[in-house]
Chains A and B, each alone.
Chain A
Amino acid sequence: MQERVIEKAAQLLESGACARVLGWKTGEFFYDVTPAVFTSAQQVRQEMVFSPFCGANLSKYLIAESRKEGKVGVFLKPCDSFSFVQLQKEHRILRENVYAVGVQCQGMSDIEALKALGLRGITAVQAEEDRLTVSTLYGEKTVALEEALSLRCRSCKSRALHDCDELIGDQGRDLDTDRFGEVARLEAMSPEERFAFWRSQLSKCIRCNACRNVCPACSCEKCVFDDPNSGVQNKAAADPFEEDLFHIIRAFHVAGRCTDCGECTRVCPQHIPLHLLNRKLIKDMNALYGPYQAGSDFDSKPPMLTFTQEDPEASIITEGRGIQ
């Protein structure tokens, strides 16, 4: 796959079809891959990489890149292609300036998953079929490939590549994984337990804004939390209330637009399971207003931008009848 991605990128630049190509660039280690804009085939051949550690979703960069001179090539994994479509729906990407290459994905790995296995000082990995040999400063260890899977990829929603000009690998399909199991587990708890759970998680927040800034749905030019005129601008949570405020408002603001790409949880330096907020909203909207997947098509109306006269009243929540 890596060779095909690099060859394609080089070809797009050499043929002049694209002025720039968005891809992933090698780092110091095998896992610290950085999104990058490549401008020459030579640079692509030297520095570009496509490995199971290229988890970063490149679609948000297209907001800026598609507004620059010339066409930009981009490699999109299935998740990323949902964001790509969703951003177009919101008129944030100039599609005519983008050449999208879909890359099929078997699930991305995450260095954090390896660390969660207790591995320390990881210097290299070698994949062989379904096993991964991990070299560390303290010796080698073999783990099952699926143990290295990124948390979000364990409940992958779809391998479908949307709105790509070209595919590398096969077109995929929606998958039937249990995305909402963890949400349901929380829903089954008592309010006290849920409150304790979210306090223990959100109190870790350092307000670095990584979740917001990486989120393809968070594309406001000026976030309300950065705006001195909003009354809620803040740089740090000076009270636990502000931790809740930030995350509630952020989750709500992306409701119906969040494609569940999982970048927020991936980048959180404190490992706060932020996707559980978004998934709760997705689960509710599916149950209340019919199945909807943001970024899966261009025509459907996002649930928060429409209504029916038969919509249930808010009292189903406030009177505890629950969402069926």
Chain B
Amino acid sequence: MKKWELSRLQELFEAIAAQEPLYIPTDVSGQPTFALWQPGMALTRELNTVRSAKDLFFPQVEELVKFKVEGKKIQVLDPQVQIRDQVVFGVRACDARSFDILDSVFLAEPADTYYRDRRAHTTVMTLACTHPEESCFCTSLGIDPQAPGGDVSCWIEGEALYLNANTPKGQALLSRLPLDEGEKPEADRSVFDRLPLKDLDLTRFGEKKLLDWFHSPKWGELSQSCLGCGTCTFVCPTCQCYDIRDFDTGHGVQRFRCWDSCMYSDFTMMAHGTNRPTQLERFRQRFMHKLVYYPADHGGQVGCVGCGRCLRKCPISMNIVKVARALGEEEV
């Protein structure tokens, strides 16, 4: 295991950034977000960013193709830029697990080349949690917040940062940095046993009886006050739906994709109209996807990583925990 003095963290960032662009979670206009490191930029004091780390691989807006129109000539241009190697530091265990879920979607054949390129060129340095929020429940999904994955795992203990490479990519990065050797002291894990949501069970929904969950009478009550905004889907690290849209620039067309939300009325709109006419169906889609459909297709793995963002951000405080509790009350 490698070691670095915490008081010299900026020097470490500088050393990494000298080789490759580095992203860290920092406060921008008062809100924690992943941003390109610049000299003096400090880590946020918040536990996690508002937008998840999925931004780095699956940005909210991404240009796909350009059509340039000149008279009767139409040129098709590929705006896909060569992705450079980059490093992201400070990804929490929950977000690191979300990459596995995104991988299963975007890297399944045919792979999404935009996502694949960014993944391949990014070295992920995770950061272990020591001070979880009350809304954290990653432990109930089998995630160890003190053993985060990624290419390099990092821990802050006392006055030092400890680093351990998990992959050849991580090893290569650490070997290029002037790190000391050191052994991480045993961390105090007791706070994780005090988490209010530690006993939450989100895994029972994937088992079977998909249609029974689908027809549960609870959905009406759960969705009745949903505003139909996209907050939960946009802060969620595992939501991966997108829409492809054209923008008329006046001298051509820019085709781009952007995050979509199943909470929106025109989500998956088709020629026949929308297949989810009320908020009940849209709301149900989101939670069925996370709790039932995804596990059914992926060996029981739940499509949620317990980061708690939706708990903190939903305008009406409806969230996956409340849904799981309400559905769990019934014996299906």
Given the contacts A206-B60, A207-B230, A235 and B260 also touching, CB distance less than 8 Å: yes
A304 to B149, CA, bound (A): 57
Given the contacts A35-B316, A210-B231, A226 and B264 also touching, CB distance less than 8 Å: yes
Q: Binary interface profile of B, 15-31, with partner A (CB < 8 Å = 1, else 0)?
A: 00000000000001111
A28 to B196, CA, bound (A): 9
From A94-102, A177-185, A196-204, A254-262, the one touching the partner chain is A196-204
Q: Report yes or no: B29 in contact with A235, Cβ–Cβ below 8 A.
A: no
A61 part of interface (Cβ distance < 8 Å) = yes
**Chain B residues in 8 Å Cβ range of A36:** 221, 224-225
Q: Report yes or no: B29 in contact with A204, Cβ–Cβ below 8 A.
A: yes
The B141-193 residues at the A interface (CB cut-off 8 A) are 191
Q: Report yes or no: B133 in contact with A120, Cβ–Cβ below 8 A.
A: yes
A51 part of interface (Cβ distance < 8 Å) = no
**Chain A residues in 8 Å Cβ range of B234:** 206-208, 269
B77 part of interface (Cβ distance < 8 Å) = no
The B240-267 residues at the A interface (CB cut-off 8 A) are 243, 245, 247, 254, 256, 258-261, 264-266
DSSP majority for the B interface?
loop
B275 part of interface (Cβ distance < 8 Å) = no
B72 part of interface (Cβ distance < 8 Å) = no
B228 part of interface (Cβ distance < 8 Å) = yes
The B77-114 residues at the A interface (CB cut-off 8 A) are none
Q: Report yes or no: B311 in contact with A32, Cβ–Cβ below 8 A.
A: yes
From the candidates A27, A120, A204, A269, name the one contacting B231 in the complex (CB within 8 A): A269
From the candidates A29, A31, A137, A269, name the one contacting B235 in the complex (CB within 8 A): A269
Given the contacts A120-B131, A208-B230, A214 and B315 also touching, CB distance less than 8 Å: yes
B296 part of interface (Cβ distance < 8 Å) = no
Q: Report yes or no: B50 in contact with A214, Cβ–Cβ below 8 A.
A: no
**Chain B residues in 8 Å Cβ range of A206:** 51, 60, 230-231, 234-235
A226 to B224, CA, bound (A): 21
Q: Report yes or no: B225 in contact with A34, Cβ–Cβ below 8 A.
A: yes
A261 to B197, CA, bound (A): 33
B313 part of interface (Cβ distance < 8 Å) = yes
Number of interface residues of A (CB under 8 A): 44
Q: Report yes or no: B131 in contact with A121, Cβ–Cβ below 8 A.
A: yes
A35 nearest in chain B by CB position: B225
Q: Report yes or no: A123 in contact with B196, Cβ–Cβ below 8 A.
A: yes
From the candidates A35, A121, A226, name the one contacting B266 in the complex (CB within 8 A): A226
Given the contacts A34-B316, A137-B195, A208 and B229 also touching, CB distance less than 8 Å: yes
A209 part of interface (Cβ distance < 8 Å) = yes
B47 part of interface (Cβ distance < 8 Å) = yes
**Chain B residues in 8 Å Cβ range of A249:** none
B309 nearest in chain A by CB position: A269
From the candidates A210, A214, A235, name the one contacting B243 in the complex (CB within 8 A): A235
From the candidates A32, A238, A266, A271, name the one contacting B31 in the complex (CB within 8 A): A271
A120 to B297, CA, bound (A): 37
B220 nearest in chain A by CB position: A37
B134 part of interface (Cβ distance < 8 Å) = yes
Q: Binary interface profile of A, 218-259, with partner B (CB < 8 Å = 1, else 0)?
A: 000000001010000011111000000000000000000000
**Chain A residues in 8 Å Cβ range of B227:** 210, 213-214
A34 to B326, CA, bound (A): 14
From the candidates B31, B259, B316, B322, name the one contacting A235 in the complex (CB within 8 A): B259
Shortest beta-carbon distance from B46 to chain A in Å: 9
B36 part of interface (Cβ distance < 8 Å) = no
A207 to B261, CA, bound (A): 11
A277 part of interface (Cβ distance < 8 Å) = no
**Chain A residues in 8 Å Cβ range of B260:** 235
A56 part of interface (Cβ distance < 8 Å) = yes
Of residues B134, B319, B322, which shows the largest number of chain A Cβ atoms within 10 Å of its Cβ?
B134
A122 part of interface (Cβ distance < 8 Å) = yes
Q: Binary interface profile of B, 259-283, with partner A (CB < 8 Å = 1, else 0)?
A: 1110011100000000000000000
A270 to B221, CA, bound (A): 28
A281 part of interface (Cβ distance < 8 Å) = no
From the candidates A120, A234, A267, name the one contacting B245 in the complex (CB within 8 A): A234
From the candidates A122, A209, A234, name the one contacting B229 in the complex (CB within 8 A): A209
Shortest beta-carbon distance from A256 to chain B in Å: 23
B321 part of interface (Cβ distance < 8 Å) = yes
B266 nearest in chain A by CB position: A226
Q: Report yes or no: A238 in contact with B235, Cβ–Cβ below 8 A.
A: no
**Chain B residues in 8 Å Cβ range of A136:** 134
A149 part of interface (Cβ distance < 8 Å) = no
A60 to B225, CA, bound (A): 10
**Chain A residues in 8 Å Cβ range of B258:** 234-236, 238
Q: Report yes or no: B29 in contact with A201, Cβ–Cβ below 8 A.
A: yes
**Chain B residues in 8 Å Cβ range of A208:** 229-231, 233-235, 261
Of residues B29, B133, B243, B259, which shows the largest number of chain A Cβ atoms within 10 Å of its Cβ?
B29
A192 to B156, CA, bound (A): 41
Mark B residues whose CB is within 8 Å of A. 28-31, 33, 47, 50-51, 60-61, 131-135, 191, 194-197, 221, 224-225, 227-231, 233-235, 243, 245, 247, 254, 256, 258-261, 264-266, 311, 313, 315-319, 321-322, 325
Q: Other than the known A28-B325, A270-B50, what 14 A-B pairs have Cβ atoms closer than 8 Å? A: A32-B317, A34-B316, A34-B322, A36-B225, A37-B224, A121-B191, A137-B191, A207-B234, A213-B227, A213-B228, A214-B315, A226-B264, A269-B231, A269-B313
16 sample A-B contacts, Cβ–Cβ < 8 Å, listed by A number: A29-B196, A35-B316, A37-B225, A56-B316, A61-B225, A121-B134, A137-B131, A138-B131, A206-B60, A206-B230, A208-B230, A208-B235, A208-B261, A209-B264, A235-B245, A236-B61
